[in-house]
Structure 1
Amino acid sequence: MADVRELMGRLGPTTVKFDTGRGGVPALTNQDIAAALGMVPAGLGRELLEALWWPESGARRSQRVRQAVIALVAPEYIRQQQALSLARTEFGIAKACMGWAGGAVTDAQRVERSRAEAKLEAVRALCWPNNTMEQLGALTAAVISEMAGAENCDACDGRRVQAAHDGSGVVQCECCDGTGLEALSGRKRAIAIGADKSAYQRFWQPVYEWMLERMRGAEREAAEAFNRALSRAA
């Protein structure tokens, strides 16, 4: 898959002519590569594919990358905030019902208040920081940088699977969670987004890992579409 992606480098400025054919064997021309790229569905995956493997194009299309990332992150952020608002409202109602109009506080009301409070704390713990959207530019740059410089996982050598401990076959690699790639340390990620390690682990790690997983998935799907289009052109 990486070799297919690397073909996009031929679309950048070069002094070497790559599309001359090779001993009578049909070869992909730059026009074939550009046409195949044009067949990749528009969206986040294609924008990341170009940003990572055709930097000249990615630099020109930075606004499209920004829009695609916002379209990815904003709905999840809004969903979390709506869930938090609902949990707060439910907790407020539970508190208001206790001793309503001067009446006695019942055991059922206490139970409901405790339940609503526990739900509120659970929802709050899963929410991203309030300033997530303000920090989205730094997060995006760090994620793309990690994607661009990712090394193969040492444990599985990029194969995404490893031998099962019981000898029954292969299973998803535990070290890389099946990505085939070595993850950056929390310290390096913290530096990349301009935070200290403790702040990254406490606040930003869930956002970062959520974005990294989905952006990698989108880029992988785009690369697969690019590969299929190249196969038809070959």
Structure 2
Amino acid sequence: MTDVRELLARLNPTTIRMDVGTGAVAGSLTNIDIAAALGMVPGGIGRDLMELLHGPNPSRNQIVKVLEAITRLAMEERNRRSKGYFDARTIWGIAECMAKFHRERDEASRRNLEVLKARAAVARDQLFPERLEERFPQIAAVAIGFMKGERLSNRERAAAMGVSESAYRQVWASVVDWLLTQLIEAEQSAARCLLQVVRSGARDGL
């Protein structure tokens, strides 16, 4: 087997995925064996993506489930970055006010304020674009398309998202790249887990 994901193509919408392993996994795998192995992969966006990308004829519910999970992932990251910027800006502001109040003008105080200011600037630059939720369906579509094998240029990605190429490069490319990194890592982790389950079943003859 060159890629354990290839097993998923043998499943069909009527195959029941079980959360316990049953049946013989060694030798020739049946659909039930594959479904049982898949059920042992921890649930989450990685497994859902793997099923969507490599299983046969994904249902509308599968597609919606993956899109909702991707959206939650991005919104949580957006909130984390926003909080990081707020905290960094607040710490810098308080330190600046305290330095002025105590009339601290020594080199150490100035250096400390410069460091805190720089941290706030870095956090600001890492913020996700405003109105992210309005573009997210297109961002998710571009990311999933890449994982399916589509290799679009920046111009083509921009067109798919309904923005100019310059806007894509300046505003949205970093979001797409971040999302792709998260999705690829999650899906690869799920595939590794599936491979371990299949190999373990083959050894144990379950």
Equivalent residue, structure 2, for 1:218: 186
Counterparts in 2 of 1:142 and 1:106: CA distance versus 1, 3 Å: same
CA-to-aligned-CA distance 1:201-229 (integer Å, 9 cap, x gap): 11112211111111111111111222223
Supply the AA of the counterpart residue of 1:81: S
Q: Quick check: 1:51 aligned with 2:55?
A: no
CA-to-aligned-CA distance 1:101-149 (integer Å, 9 cap, x gap): xx9x764599366555443322211221122234322211210111001
Distance 2:147 2:46 in 1: 13
Supply the AA of the counterpart residue of 2:196: R
Equivalent residue, structure 1, for 2:4: 4
CA-to-aligned-CA distance 1:52-109 (integer Å, 9 cap, x gap): 0125345322332133223432332112101211233345446656865xx9x76459
Distance 1:99 1:214 in 2: 43
Within 5 A, what are the aligned runs for 1:55-134?
Answer: 55-57=56-58, 59-93=60-94, 96=97, 107-108=105-106, 111=110, 115-134=115-134
- Give secondary structure in 1 for the equivalent of 2:129: coil
Supply the AA of the counterpart residue of 2:199: S
Structure 1, unmatched stretches of 5+, are 14-24, 151-182
Identify which range, 191-200 or 1-10, moves more after superposition: 1-10
Contact 1:50/1:58 (8 A) holds in 2: no
Counterparts in 2 of 1:76 and 1:2: CA distance versus 1, 3 Å: farther
Structure 2, unmatched stretches of 5+, are 14-25
Distance 2:142 2:2 in 1: 21
- Identity score, percent: 36
Contact 2:46/2:188 (8 A) holds in 1: yes
Q: CA RMSD in A?
A: 3.1
Q: Quick check: 1:33 aligned with 2:34?
A: yes
Supply the AA of the counterpart residue of 1:28: L
Distance 2:181 2:76 in 1: 16
- Give secondary structure in 1 for the equivalent of 2:57: helix
Identify which range, 70-79 or 31-40, moves more after superposition: 70-79
Higher relative contact order (CA 8 A, sep 6+): 2
Equivalent residue, structure 2, for 1:136: 136
Counterparts in 2 of 1:6 and 1:84: CA distance versus 1, 3 Å: same
Distance 1:186 1:2 in 2: 32
- The number of aligned residues is 188
Contact 2:5/2:54 (8 A) holds in 1: yes
TM-score by length of 2: 0.74
Higher helix share: 2
Equivalent residue, structure 2, for 1:231: 199
Within 5 A, what are the aligned runs for 1:148-167?
Answer: 148-149=148-149
TM-score by length of 1: 0.66
Q: Quick check: 1:204 aligned with 2:204?
A: no
Counterparts in 2 of 1:94 and 1:227: CA distance versus 1, 3 Å: closer
Contact 1:98/1:106 (8 A) holds in 2: yes
Counterparts in 2 of 1:38 and 1:116: CA distance versus 1, 3 Å: closer
Equivalent residue, structure 2, for 1:186: 154
Supply the AA of the counterpart residue of 2:167: A
